[in-house]
Structure 1
Amino acid sequence: MPEESKIILNDDQSLGTIQIAPRVLEIIAGYAASEVDGVSKMYGSFANSVGELLGRSGHRRGVKLTSDNDELSIDVDVFVEYGVSVPKVAAQIQKRIKQQVTLMTDLVVTEVNVHVKGIVAPQSEQQVDPDNLFGDDAEDDGGND
């Protein structure tokens, strides 16, 4: 991994440098976003899904990080639950990500862009009657009259 992809955390380098990989910040942001009430799941690419199957963290899913000098911009793609206030949930995501990244790294987050990719409807519970698996009202005697 090239050196320029690392982000320097400490200004005082008398004891050495502290570097953090961008994927660590993506994991922090993804975890913070997924903890917000109203967020159903994070939106990710096919590569993210394959990575999860191979045992990699799913908290990077749907998070894109842009770092330019001292400015840190984070984009998150989410699915929200049906019935929630989208602007309120998005504002909570922005606040939570900024708070967690700043708390854990001392980096200044200049912007958090929330992209709502879809709404997830609640799943209805289906009751299956073990005596009537196919939902037939009439008894079928196998055609023997």
Structure 2
Amino acid sequence: MSTIAEYEKTDMGTIQIAPEVIEVIAGLATIEVEGVAGMSSGFAGGIAELLGRKNLSKGVKVEVGQREAAVDVSIIVEYGNQIPEVASQIQNNVKRSIEMMTGLNVVEVNVHIHDVHFKQAERPEEEESINRVK
């Protein structure tokens, strides 16, 4: 949903929260979790694109109603982490952050793992095999 939902009417007027705000909150809550290498924009030509911290909302899709929100986050996980544990921590952190900041009830947080990120220090054999013949 890309329109601004009317969230609450008060004596002073209405409060509206744009879906983009929920996307940024979910993105920040996601990258706070240990084991997340970054957000993913999905598969472009078979390769998951790793997004930096400036593009937090790019790996997030939300559906926002007047009282509820549903969130999908797409991530790249760091090699060596237990994917179910990282995904569970993301679900809890995203739900808690959105509910605390907006008052919306988060009905679901779906985590999509698009790739595994290897740290450069963990790939010495690969570099050695490239330069085997001198």
Residue 104 of structure 1 corresponds to: 101
Residue 24 of structure 2 corresponds to: 27
Structure 1 residue 75: Cα displacement: 0.2
Q: 1:89-109 CA distances to partner (integer Å, 9 max, x unpaired)? A: 000000000000011100110
Change in Cα spacing, 1:91 to 1:136, as seen in structure 2 (3 Å) is closer
User: Aligned runs of 1:12-23 on 2, under 5 Å?
Assistant: 12-23=9-20
**How many percent of aligned residue pairs carry the same amino acid?**
39
Change in Cα spacing, 1:77 to 1:136, as seen in structure 2 (3 Å) is closer
Structure 1 residue identity aligned to 2:86: V
Structure 1 residue 70: Cα displacement: 3.1
Name the structure where helix makes up a greater proportion of residues: 2
Q: Which moved more, 1:98-107 or 1:64-73?
A: 64-73
Residues 9 and 106 in structure 1, CA contact (< 8 A), matched pair in contact too: no
Q: Structure 1-normalised TM-score?
A: 0.71
Unaligned runs of 5+ in 2: 124-130
Change in Cα spacing, 1:90 to 1:135, as seen in structure 2 (3 Å) is closer
Q: Structure 2-normalised TM-score?
A: 0.77
Confirm whether residue 95 of structure 1 aligns to residue 102 of structure 2: no
Confirm whether residue 61 of structure 1 aligns to residue 23 of structure 2: no
Instruction: Give the RMSD, CA atoms, in angstroms.
Output: 2.6
Q: Which of these residues, 80, 83, 87, is aligned with residue 80 of structure 2?
A: 83
Structure 1 residue 71: Cα displacement: 2.9
Structure 1 residue 125: Cα displacement: 7.8
Q: Which of these residues, 9, 26, 35, is aligned with residue 7 of structure 2?
A: 9
Residue 121 of structure 1 corresponds to: 118
Unaligned runs of 5+ in 1: 127-133, 138-145
Q: Which has the higher Rg, Structure 1 or Structure 2?
A: 1
Q: For 1:18, what is the secondary structure of its paired residue?
A: strand
Q: For 2:116, what is the secondary structure of its paired residue?
A: strand
Q: 1 CA distance for matches of 2:34 and 2:57?
A: 18
Q: 1 CA distance for matches of 2:37 and 2:93?
A: 16
Structure 1 residue 58: Cα displacement: 1.2
